[in-house]
Amino acid sequence: MDLSDNTIERICKIFGYLHALEKKGVDFVSSKDLAKMVGATEYTIRKDISFLGGPGYTRKGYEVRSFKKELGQRFQLTEKRKACIIGLGRLGTALLDYENFQEDGFEIVAGFDCNVNKIERIRTSIDVFAVSRLAEIVDARNIELGIIAVPAESAQEIADQLAAAGVKGILNFSPVKISVPEGIVHVDMDFTNALRFIAARFVMMKK
Amino acid sequence: MDLSDNTIERICKIFGYLHALEKKGVDFVSSKDLAKMVGATEYTIRKDISFLGGPGYTRKGYEVRSFKKELGQRFQLTEKRKACIIGLGRLGTALLDYENFQEDGFEIVAGFDCNVNKIERIRTSIDVFAVSRLAEIVDARNIELGIIAVPAESAQEIADQLAAAGVKGILNFSPVKISVPEGIVHVDMDFTNALRFIAARFVMMKK
DNA sequence: ATCTTCTAGTGAATTAATTCACAAATAATA
DNA sequence: TATTATTTGTGAATTAATTCACTAGAAGAT
């Protein structure tokens, strides 16, 4: 069965909520509650879950712990995945220490920047390197994910280097769309575009 | 005519590309080119544009300058929109100085944090205030957009305050989904979830 | 013990989104 | 000038996604 991107995204969100609910000590959650948290209808949530053959209990909902465990196994979200950040400007260094990555399933194991002087000044517990060593370190440390935080003009070049180095996924924070070879998953997170979307959306609402 | 969120999002991306193309001095762009840049098919792009009644030229495509201008007017993306950032930790301060916001249509006119000592230490050209002054400043400066960069536990509270203060849109960088009153547009940007999506997506691909 | 209420699961219906197919127009070419 | 190639615009067809409508089962209430 082939899940759509929308379904995968919702399931990832669900996983996040299950994680939070587990910490709060909640035992069961209904499709209605999940729907509210994910921003979808209960029908859609149940359909999504049905693709996975998830076990729900009549009049109780889904058991938080076992459901989370199952999702984790299915999508391999339990084992920590290693990531690196390229570009150690304001945003890049903020991401280096972004606790939420560590908190759930991801580990930043290296940072890169092309400015060698900058590398020596950065104060962080994470190892930082010159970009020239990207391929070497990605290989040595089994890094699966690359997070791009360089300026627009070098984003594509870094994406190419990451692809060549063998990462499986790229999260791109630069404000240009990057293209990657088939087989590598990537997501563009364009802040400015998000603001534009919000602005356009509320202009549309008035009409 | 009611545009779907997908259409609005693609159009916002198109606007961004038109902006870049204009700066490069390109005169015309085809639906095929736009499709590649946006990550959609040329059919979808033309359909999107057809909702706007955009004027395309046979065998040339769309005229970059006039098309951008029209989109800008339609969605009011030309006038600078004022935004503020709440939460001046690593991410928040990085966003304060994120040039790309200023670069195209958005202006960060205030920062807020609840830690008053921190406020005094921050070095930036943008005015920073205690969160207690949020409503006052939003009103005084005509701020339309709020960017949430506080930790998960206070995100909803800040969202409520922003809504009460009268912002029209919220961009939420905290890793929880916030809920806002009807009539306010909001987008959640959850970094961890983006990484999860990438991870889940490439697990799915193998099958 | 029985009834009511709630919730999952799912095939069918509906709605939405995308893609196709092709006419019309026009630049480029021969 | 005639021909060819390219590109928009759009109704129709297709495909995808969501919602509905209903069954079954179990918890809780009476």
Q: What is the average per-residue pLDDT within B17-43?
A: 97
Interchain pair B196, A12: CB under 8 A: yes
Report the alpha-carbon distance of residue A74 to residue B203 in Å, rounded. Answer: 8
Split into its structural domains, chain A has a count of: 2
Q: What is the average per-residue pLDDT within B61-76?
A: 96
**Which protein residue's Cα is closest to nucleotide D16 at C1'?**
A4
Which pLDDT does position B92 carry in this prediction?
97
User: Would residue A206 count as lying in a domain?
Assistant: no
Covered bases, chain C (protein CB within 7 Å) = 5-11, 16-21, 24-27
Q: Are residues A45 and A92 in the same domain?
A: no
User: Would residue A198 count as lying in a domain?
Assistant: no
Q: Are residues B162 and B93 in the same domain?
A: yes
Q: Are residues A38 and A103 in the same domain?
A: no
Boundary of a domain, candidates A40, A73, A106: A73
Residue with tokens 């929308």: A6
Q: Are residues B90 and B120 in the same domain?
A: yes
Q: Are residues A52 and A86 in the same domain?
A: no
User: Would residue B183 count as lying in a domain?
Assistant: yes
Q: What is the average per-residue pLDDT within B37-42?
A: 96
pLDDT tens for A151-184 read 999 999 999 999 999 999 999 999 999 999 999 9
Residue A168's CATH number: 3.40.50.720
Which pLDDT does position A148 carry in this prediction?
98
**Which protein residue's Cα is closest to nucleotide D17 at C1'?**
A44
User: Would residue A58 count as lying in a domain?
Assistant: yes
Q: What is the average per-residue pLDDT within B103-126?
A: 93
Evaluate if residue A103 carries a pLDDT over 90: no
Covered bases, chain D (protein CB within 7 Å) = 5-11, 16-21, 24-27
Evaluate if residue A38 carries a pLDDT over 90: yes
Evaluate if residue A207 carries a pLDDT over 80: no
Q: What is the mean pLDDT of chain A?
A: 95
Residues 45-64 (B) with a CB less than 8 A from some CB of A: none
Q: What is the average per-residue pLDDT within A96-117?
A: 94
Which pLDDT does position B81 carry in this prediction?
96
User: Would residue B200 count as lying in a domain?
Assistant: no
Q: What is the average per-residue pLDDT within B14-35?
A: 97
User: Would residue B206 count as lying in a domain?
Assistant: no
Specify whether the CB–CB gap between A180 and B169 falls below 8 A. Answer: no
Contact of B105 with chain A, judged by CB distance below 8 Å, is answered with yes
Q: Are residues B19 and B55 in the same domain?
A: yes
Q: Are residues B110 and B187 in the same domain?
A: yes
Q: Work out if B30's Cβ lies within 7 angstroms of strand D.
A: yes
User: Would residue B204 count as lying in a domain?
Assistant: no
Q: Are residues B89 and B189 in the same domain?
A: yes
Report the alpha-carbon distance of residue B163 to residue A97 in Å, rounded. Answer: 30
Q: Are residues A43 and A86 in the same domain?
A: no
Which pLDDT does position B54 carry in this prediction?
74
Boundary of a domain, candidates A73, A93, A117: A73
Q: What is the average per-residue pLDDT within A121-136?
A: 95
Which pLDDT does position A99 carry in this prediction?
92
Evaluate if residue A140 carries a pLDDT over 90: yes
Contact of B175 with chain A, judged by CB distance below 8 Å, is answered with yes
Distance B40 CA to C12 C1' (A): 31
Adjacent-strand bridge partners of B112: B86, B129
Q: Are residues B56 and B89 in the same domain?
A: no
Boundary of a domain, candidates A73, A89, A108: A73
Could you give the percent of chain A with pLDDT greater than 70? 99
Range of the domain at A43: 5-73
Q: Are residues B85 and B117 in the same domain?
A: yes
How would you list the strands of the sheet with B28-29, edge to edge? B28-29, B61-63, B56-57
Smallest CA-to-CA distance from B8 within A204, A206, A5, A207 is with A204
Report the alpha-carbon distance of residue A196 to residue B11 in Å, rounded. Answer: 10
Q: Rounded to 5, what percent of chain B is helix, strand, coil?
A: 50, 15, 30
Smallest CA-to-CA distance from A166 within A103, A90, A82 is with A82
Q: Work out if B51's Cβ lies within 7 angstroms of strand D.
A: no
How would you list the strands of the sheet with A28-29, edge to edge? A28-29, A61-63, A56-57
**Which protein residue's Cα is closest to nucleotide C21 at C1'?**
B43
pLDDT tens for B177-191 read 999 999 999 999 999
Residues 26-45 (B) with a CB less than 8 A from some CB of A: 37-39
How many beta-carbon pairs under 8 angstroms link A with B? 194
Evaluate if residue A186 carries a pLDDT over 80: yes
Q: Are residues A64 and A103 in the same domain?
A: no
Strand C near-CB residues (< 7 Å), A 34-73: 42-43, 46-47, 49-50, 54-62
User: Would residue A117 count as lying in a domain?
Assistant: yes
Which pLDDT does position B1 carry in this prediction?
64
Q: What is the chain A residue with the closest CA to B173? A: A191
Per-residue 3-state assignment (H helix, E strand, C coil) for chain A: CCCCHHHHHHHHHHHHHHHHHHHHCCCEECHHHHHHHHCCCHHHHHHHHHHHCCCEECCCEEEHHHHHHHHHHHCCCCCCEEEEEECCCHHHHHHHCCHHHHHCCEEEEEEEECCHHHHHHCCCCCCEEEHHHHHHHHHHCCCCEEEECCCHHHHHHHHHHHHHHCCCEEEECCCCCCCCCCCCEEEECCHHHHHHHHHHHHHHHHC
Residue B35's CATH number: 1.10.10.10
Q: What is the average per-residue pLDDT within A104-117?
A: 95
Report the alpha-carbon distance of residue A190 to residue A187 in Å, rounded. Answer: 10
Specify whether the CB–CB gap between A92 and A131 falls below 8 A. Answer: no
Specify whether the CB–CB gap between A11 and A52 falls below 8 A. Answer: yes
Which pLDDT does position A123 carry in this prediction?
87
Evaluate if residue B175 carries a pLDDT over 70: yes
Give residue B26's pLDDT band: very low, low, confident or very high (50, 70, 90): very high
Specify whether the CB–CB gap between B76 and B83 falls below 8 A. Answer: no
